[in-house]
Amino acid sequence: MEFKIRAEEIRNELVRKVEELSGQNVFACYQCGKCSSGCPSVPYMELLPNQVLRLLQFGKVERILQSNTHWICASCFVCTTRCPKDIDIAAIMEALRQLDLRKNRDYLKIPEIDGEEMAKFPPIALVSAFRKLTA
């Protein structure tokens, strides 16, 4: 008896949503690891980019959303340019952020940020962080 699992059996609603938002087929990844080996943000991530794709392939979107990886991703496109399957991993990370933001949770409490500390950062960095980390 042969046991095969097809992508259609694993592709749950959240995986479909990630694919829809990103325009990418997460099942195209064959785990070469080039995305993770070139990522400058890897030291700060709980999951490597290729691990994110593998978890998506297993339908474990909630496990990814519990990690910091999609928030740490700088969307620098190194992973995307290195991917031999032309998967836009940065778009997948953005789709994961969108799914998380749709839960209407704030990951950054703006009133709690010290004004002097905020003055140290360029305004564009603050705007980017506020857009990325607040609902």
Residue spans per domain, the chain:
7-103, 108-135
Segments of the chain with pLDDT less than 70: 1-9, 104-107, 135
- What is the structure's pLDDT at 101? 80
- What is the structure's pLDDT at 64? 96
| CA gap 81, 86 in Å, rounded | 7
| CA gap 33, 28 in Å, rounded | 13
Fold topology of 7-103: Fumarate Reductase Iron-sulfur Protein; Chain B, domain 2 (1.10.1060)
The pTM assigned to this predicted structure is 0.74
